[in-house]
């Protein structure tokens, strides 16, 4: 089996937001794609959405023939249609028991050389692979939403995964026009782990009454160059997703206080104020709603920006400390997966690890909370005044 040289059939399980997006990426890379969903309604929606997208791609001159691309898709309600697939990517509901059942079933249908992948954001690949008779063919391929537009793909080998598989999948993702990174099977992988302080520290600053959300958002976009501030971004992602990811990461890290969820965000979720999609989250999205201006205080905004950035850098450095991924991949993940203006390790180099370490020590000194402990690697680099990207690491 060679997925790299031949455009072999790919199967996608789940035709929701992610499944449809991944199917589009695979089809545009030249593969025939079978999309399976238990819901006929979801399949019909996916067929219509993909048809509209393909029409728009033609209008923009990005593809020549709509028919050729449309003909690559086959929509099915039975996994039996997957017997010829050489790669199956599962993107169904985030529920371990259901995923395990589906992996067990699909393994009985496909050939022995078919790769089985999960797009899970929060479950361990090892636990999904354990459902299979041949767990060595199971791997995580984590796309970002919307899959056709976001370049990053996290490739996650489980402990059971065959040694050669991660590189093979990486090559394939490059052929699909993606920027793959290889990451250990740990909670949140790279992006959903390293990004946590962007939300968590912003929430804490607000909850302590140090600044309001408008000012925190302005500090991160204005001083930091982030495309959206933390509160606007949480509203955009939706609290049903963003809060749940935080809680899952917190639990999965055995309740490490660095990832502690916030009551303010939990209450929004409980109230059904999910963000943009429900018209109300931290901000009010009603047309007549007033926008409150941020507090114009440079010292305050600098303090906010530094505090959140120090926590983000500490998280990235700690991910490297635990060998979650390479330093290059950690930086690539944050720029290509969540559009950060630059990689956090590069940012640390620019500021100086000693400066970032001093900032964290000061926070720790003030709060005396484990949450603000500097990573051992940041401490080392700070004391030795080392850089991550000058070849000395
Ligand atoms: P979704 O809710 O939009 O779509 C899930 C689809 O799976 C639905 O159409 C549903 O009918 C179908 N489904 C449920 N059980 C099934 C089964 N047993 N067999 C076949 N189809 C079944 O969900 P979404 O957002 O596309 O997420 C799917 C997966 O991707 C989840 O594991 C999620 O954690 C992950 N993910 C989601 C991202 C996001 O931003 N939405 C980003 C990256 C990963």
CATH label of the domain that carries residue 177? 3.40.50.720
Among protein residues, the one whose CA lies closest to atom 35 of ligand 1 = 120
| CA distance linking residue 35 with residue 15, whole number of Å | 6
What 3-state DSSP class applies to 259? helix
Q: How many domains does the chain have?
A: 2
- State which ligand 1 atom lies nearest to the alpha carbon of 98: 18
Based on the domain organization, do 165 and 206 belong to the same domain? no
Residue 268 is predicted with a pLDDT of: 98
Q: What is the pLDDT of residues 168-185, one digit of tens each?
A: 999 999 999 999 999 999
What is the residue whose two structure tokens read 């954001």?
121
Binned at pLDDT 50, 70 and 90, residue 393 comes out as very low
Give the mean pLDDT of 70-78.
97
pLDDT at 391: 57
- Let me know whether 146 and 244 are in one domain: no
* Whole-number percent of the chain with pLDDT over 70: 99
Whole-number average pLDDT of the chain: 96
> Is residue 244 assigned to a domain?
yes
Which domain covers residue 105, as residue numbers? 10-185
142 in catalytic set: yes
Cα distance between residue 264 and residue 243, in whole Å:
10
Q: Convert the pLDDT of each residue in 325-356 to its tens digit.
A: 999 999 999 999 999 999 999 999 999 999 99
pTM for this predicted structure: 0.95
Which residues line ligand 1 at a C-beta cut-off of 6 Å?
13-19, 36-39, 42, 91-94, 98, 102, 119-121, 143-145
Q: Are residues 69 and 97 in the same domain?
A: yes
**Does any domain span residue 280?**
yes
CB-based contact 245:193 (threshold 8 Å): no
Domain containing residue 328: CATH number: 1.10.1040.50
β-pairing, 138-143 vs 152-157, is antiparallel
d(CA 205, CA 216): 8
Statement to judge: residues 167 and 249 lie in one domain? no
Among 164, 185, 206, residue at a domain's last position: 185
| Same domain flag for 376 and 240 | yes
Q: Does residue 36 register a pLDDT over 80?
A: yes
Rounded Cα–Cα distance for residues 186 and 122 (Å): 9
> Both 46 and 24 in a single domain?
yes
Q: Where is the domain boundary, 135, 153, 185?
A: 185
Listed residues 169, 185, 201: the one ending a domain: 185
Residues 174 and 202 grouped into a single domain: no
């Amino acid at each position: 089996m060679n997925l790299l040289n031949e455009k072999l059939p790919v199967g996608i399980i789940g035709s929701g937001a992610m499944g449809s997006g991944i199917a589009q990426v695979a089809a545009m890379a030249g593969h025939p794609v079978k999309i399976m969903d238990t819901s006929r309604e979801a399949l019909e929606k996916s067929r219509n959405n993909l048809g509209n997208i393909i029409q728009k791609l033609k209008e923009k001159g990005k593809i020549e023939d709509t028919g050729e691309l449309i003909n690559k898709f086959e929509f099915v309600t039975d996994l039996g249609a997957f017997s010829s697939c050489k790669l199956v990517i599962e993107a169904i509901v985030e529920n371990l028991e259901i995923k395990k059942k589906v992996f067990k079933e699909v393994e009985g249908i496909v050939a022995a050389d078919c790769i089985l992948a999960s797009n899970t954001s929060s479950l361990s690949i090892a636990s999904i692979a354990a459902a299979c008779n041949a767990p060595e063919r199971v791997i995580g391929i984590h796309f970002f939403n919307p899959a056709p537009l976001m370049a990053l793909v996290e490739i996650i080998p489980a402990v059971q995964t065959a040694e050669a598989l991660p590189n093979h999948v990486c090559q394939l993702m490059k052929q699909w026009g993606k920027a793959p990174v290889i990451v250990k099977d740990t909670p949140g992988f790279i992006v959903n782990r390293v990004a946590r302080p962007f939300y968590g520290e912003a929430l804490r600053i607000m909850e302590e009454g140090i600044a309001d959300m408008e000012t925190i958002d302005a500090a991160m976009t204005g001083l930091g160059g982030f495309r959206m501030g933390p509160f606007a971004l949480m509203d955009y992602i939706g609290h049903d997703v963003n809060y749940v990811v935080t809680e899952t990461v917190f639990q999965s890290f055995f309740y490490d206080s660095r990832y502690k969820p916030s009551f303010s965000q939990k209450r929004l979720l409980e109230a059904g104020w999910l963000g943009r999609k429900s018209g109300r989250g931290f901000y009010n999205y009603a047309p007549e709603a007033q926008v409150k201006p941020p507090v114009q205080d440079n010292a305050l905004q600098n303090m906010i920006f530094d505090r959140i950035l120090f926590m983000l850098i500490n998280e990235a450095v700690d991910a490297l400390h635990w060998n979650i991924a390479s330093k290059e991949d950690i930086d690539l993940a944050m720029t290509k997966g969540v559009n950060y203006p630059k990689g956090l390790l590069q940012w640390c180099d620019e500021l100086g690890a000693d400066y970032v370490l001093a900032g964290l020590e000061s926070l720790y000194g003030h709060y005396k909370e484990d949450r603000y402990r500097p990573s051992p690697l940041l401490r080392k680099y700070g004391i030795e005044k080392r850089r991550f990207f000058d070849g000395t690491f």
